[in-house]
Amino acid sequence: AQTVTQSQPEMSVQEAETVTLSCTYDTSESNYYLFWYKQPPSRQMILVIRQEAYKQQNATENRFSVNFQKAAKSFSLKISDSQLGDTAMYFCAFMKPPHVSMRFGAGTRLTVKP
Amino acid sequence: GAGVSQSPSNKVTEKGKDVELRCDPISGHTALYWYRQSLGQGLEFLIYFQGNSAPDKSGLPSDRFSAERTGGSVSTLTIQRTQQEDSAVYLCASSLATAWNTGELFFGEGSRLTVL
């Protein structure tokens, strides 16, 4: 079974600074997909970024980037130039086709301070 | 609709009562998922529907939980004889097809269930 671990229950960062959220996962598979989702106080989950395991290049979406270390089974999220609107719960998630259930970590609550 | 719609947004019930939670996915999305989010926990997969295929019920925690999807659109999650440990936010998500094609599930805002 695949497990996803987020070891940081809570983090905070000053506005405009950079923060990195950690995620590790456990799998014996070689082909899979990793995701970071954001859940603001409104409760609606929003996809932040995705990474295909077969791609060596780290995914980037504007201020969000990942550090994907396949051998170490690590998938951290870096948020640059943090903004107040980045305050949310962040969930790391894993999916191995064809199994369709996306496995989520317990989440990291990020607070961006003015 | 424009997004995934869930109702009710909040539900308080007494232990032993049955509850129904509704999800209206994005039009045209063939895949529909139910997840449960307990306080301080990640999202727990419950059930998955894809088109007319048999649903993947492997995540349902007990036989008190059931779900159906009528006409390939609206889904209802039913919890019978609710227990206090059923208290959680129940999230519904939909996607165009199998989610690994895009990696994106579109989530509703959830239904918060409180069992007294």
* A:4-23 residues touching chain B, CB 8 A cutoff: 4, 6, 9
CA distance A93 to A38: 11
Q: What rounded mean pLDDT belongs to chain A? A: 91
**Which token pair is B19?**
């509850």
Does B102 have pLDDT greater than 90? no
Q: Please say if the pLDDT value at position B112 is more than 80.
A: yes
Place of tokens 């895949």: B31
**Which residue of A3, A34, A42, A43 to mutate against B (max B Cβ within 10 Å)?**
A43
CA dist., res. B36 & res. B26, Å (int): 20
10-residue mean pLDDT profile of chain A (114 residues): values are 87 97 92 92 88 90 96 96 96 79 89 96
Q: Kindly tell me if the per-residue pLDDT of B36 is higher than 70.
A: yes
* Closest among A94, A107, A103 to A43, alpha carbons compared: A107
User: What is the model's pLDDT at position B71?
Assistant: 80
Q: Write down the pLDDT at residue B74.
A: 94
Contacts 24+ apart (CB under 8 A), B86-90: B86/B113, B86/B115, B87/B38, B87/B113, B87/B114, B87/B115, B88/B36, B88/B37, B88/B38, B88/B39, B88/B112, B88/B113, B89/A43, B89/B36, B89/B37, B89/B38, B89/B113, B90/B6, B90/B21, B90/B34, B90/B35, B90/B36, B90/B37, B90/B46
Residues of A in contact with B59 (CB under 8 A): 101
Q: Tell me how close the Cα of B81 comes to any Cα of chain A, in angstroms.
A: 26
A64/B contact by beta carbon, under 8 A: no
- On average, the pLDDT of chain B sits at 89
Please report the pLDDT score of residue B97 as a whole number. Answer: 66
- pLDDT of A111 reads 97
The sign of the CA dihedral A26, A27, A31, A33 is negative
CB pairs under 8 A between A and B: 65
**Per-residue pLDDT reduced to its tens digit, B71-97:** 878 999 999 999 999 999 999 999 876
Contact (Cβ atoms closer than 8 angstroms) between residue A100 and residue B31: yes
Sorting pLDDT into bands at 50, 70 and 90, what band is B108? very high
How far does the CA of residue A60 sit from the closest CA of chain B (Å)? 15
Nearest CA-CA distance, residue B73 and chain A, Å: 18
A50: nearest Cα among A65, A30, A62, A40 = A65
Q: Considering only CB atoms, which chain B residues are within 8 Å of A47?
A: 103-105
Report residue B58 CA to chain centroid gap: 14
Mean pLDDT of all residues in B56-80? 92
Minimum CA–CA partner of B43 in chain A: A104
Q: What is the pLDDT of residue B35?
A: 94
